[in-house]
Amino acid sequence: MKPLVAIVGRPNVGKSTLFNRLVGRRIALVEDEPGVTRDRHYADAEWEGRAFTLIDTGGFVPGEKDTLLKQVREQAQFAVEECDVIIFVVDARAGMTTADEAVANYLRKSGKPVVVAANKLDNETGQMQSLAGEFFRLGLGDVNAMSAEHNLGMGSLMDSVVSKLPEKQEGEDAEAPPDDGKIRVAIIGRPNVGKSTLVNAILKEKRVVTSEVAGTTRDPIDSEVMYKGNQLILTDTAGIRRKKTIAHQVEQYSVIAALKVLERSDVAVLLMDATEPAVDQDAKLAGLSMDRGRALVIVVNKWDLIAEDKRRQEAFREDLKIALKFVGYAPVIFTSALHGSKVEKVVDVAVELAKQFRFRAPTPQLNKLLDYMVDNNPAPIVKSKPLRLYYIAQVAAAPPTFALTCNEPQGVPDMYKRYITNQIRKTFDLRVPIRLLFRERPGKAKREARKKPHLAGKGGKGGKRAGRD
C-alpha cells in the first residue's frame, strides 16, 4: 500500500486548504471558520515521483469535553496512529498557542516523523519568514514557512515530507492487483453487519470468529477457496480497530483497514445491515471502492429480519438508491448470511465482476461505438468551437481504462463524459468502474506552429517582430 501522510493541527489553520492543494482538486470543504472538517478525507497524491495517500483530519482540540469535538479529536488520533508521516499545520500569522503546544506534545509521544508547516505566510519577505521562527520552540525539528492558499513554500515542505517516508516497497505504486489468476475479494463494511458470518457461509465452515459484539475482527484475514473452478482469496476486514492509546469509540469502522485491502483486491463486497438505513459510513466505503477503481457488489445482509415488513423493505431500497446513487452501476443483492440465503449469488456476481474488471474491448468495435455516440449525441461546443473526438482505444484494464483523442481534452464537459461512460457500459455490459482519459492528437503543437510561424518564438508582439526581421 502507498504510505500514509496525515495532516493534523488545531482548528482553522488551513489543513483542508493544504490537502486540496496537494491532491490538485477541491475535495475537502474550506471555510474561514473552525470545525468545518469533522470526518477524515483520503486522496492519493504524488511528489517528485513518490506516491502517497493523504489524510485530512478535523481540528485537533486536546482535552475537549464537547462530545462532537471529542470525536473529531479521536478521528485525528486514529489517523496519527496509522500514518507514516505527520504534517503538523500551524497558523504563523496568529502565532503559537497553547493548543499548538498541546498537539505538539501528543505528536512527540506518538514517535512518528513530523514535518511542521507554518501556514498563512502569504509573501516571502524576511519579516513574514521570521513569524515562523517561534515554532522551532515546539521541538519538532525544522519549520517550513508556506502558504497553502497562495502556493508558496510547497516545494520545500513536500521535500521534507518525502524525505521522511519509509523506504519505497516493490509494487506500492501499482494501480491494479496482481494478475495471477486468483480473484481477490475484500469483504468491507461497518462493525457487526455480518462480514465474518458471510465469509464462513461462503467457506461452509466456521473459519472466522463471529460475535454480536462489534469489533470482533481486529485485522484483515485471508481465506482461500476454490469455487466453480475459480481460486478466490476472501479477505474479512476489521469493522473497528481498537488500540490502547485510543478510546474504543474512535471509529465506527476501520477505513484504513479497508484501504489496505482494497489496494490488493479485484472486487469489494460492501456489506450493509438491512435493519439500518444506508448511512454515511456505507457511502464512504463505496466511494473508496470507486476511487480505487475496484469492482463493487453491494450486499444487504440480515434481509430475513425485515422479510415480513414490505413497507420497510421498500423504504430501505429507496434510501439505498439515494445514498449510493454515485455507484448505481454496482449490483445489489439482498441476503441472509446467517441462513445462507443467496450467499452463492454473492460469489457468482463477484466472480463475474472480477472478469469484467480485467475486460479488454476490441479497438475496431470501440471506434464504431465512438461514431455511433457522436452521430446520436453530437459533441458540445467547447471554447467557441465544436469538440471533435477522433479516436478511442483501451489503454488499460483493472479497471477498464479508455483513452479518447480529441481537439480539446481539457474542455470535455462532465455531462458528456457520463454519456460516453454509460454508452461503453451499456455496449459491453460492464458493471465495474470505467475510467476515461482525454488526449490531444500527436503533433498538434507542431501543426499549430506551422500554421503560425511568426509565433514560433516566445510569442506576443516580440515574436511577430522577429518574424518580420
The dihedral built from the CA positions of residue 206, 212, 213 and 219, taken in this order, carries a sign that is positive
**Residue 270 scores a pLDDT above 80:** yes
pLDDT at res. 133: 86
What is the C-alpha to C-alpha distance for residues 458 and 462, in angstroms, rounded to an integer?
Answer: 7
Q: Using one digit for the tens of pLDDT, what is the confidence trace for 286-312?
A: 988 998 899 999 999 999 999 889 999
Tell whether residue 155 is among the known ligand binding residues: no
Tell whether residue 304 is among the known ligand binding residues: yes
Given the DSSP bridges, would you call strands 114-119 and 4-8 parallel, antiparallel or unpaired?
unpaired
Tell whether residue 141 is among the known ligand binding residues: no
Q: Using one digit for the tens of pLDDT, what is the confidence trace for 228-264?
A: 999 999 988 765 333 443 333 334 335 676 777 888 8
Tell whether residue 11 is among the known ligand binding residues: yes
Tell whether residue 3 is among the known ligand binding residues: no
Q: Using one digit for the tens of pLDDT, what is the confidence trace for 175-234?
A: 677 788 899 999 998 888 888 889 889 988 765 444 343 443 434 568 888 999 999 999
Question: Quick one: cell of 58?
Answer: 478535523
The whole-chain average pLDDT of the chain stands at 81
Tell whether residue 52 is among the known ligand binding residues: no
Tell whether residue 342 is among the known ligand binding residues: no
What is the C-alpha to C-alpha distance for residues 415 and 421, in angstroms, rounded to an integer?
Answer: 10
Residue 260: CB partners within 8 Å, gap ≥ 6?
A: 1, 220
pLDDT tier for residue 64 given thresholds of 50, 70 and 90: low
Question: Quick one: cell of 144?
Answer: 517550513
What number is the average pLDDT over the span 388-413?
A: 94
Tell whether residue 60 is among the known ligand binding residues: yes
Tell me the pTM: 0.71
Pick from 191-205, 271-285, 440-454: least confident: 440-454
Tell whether residue 47 is among the known ligand binding residues: no
Tell whether residue 426 is among the known ligand binding residues: no
What is the C-alpha to C-alpha distance for residues 465 and 442, in angstroms, rounded to an integer?
Answer: 29
pLDDT at res. 436: 96
* Structural domains present in the chain: 4-164 (3.40.50.300), 183-357 (3.40.50.300), 363-451 (3.30.300.20)
Q: Which residue has the higher pLDDT, 428 or 383?
A: 428
Tell whether residue 123 is among the known ligand binding residues: no
Question: Quick one: cell of 462?
Answer: 516580440
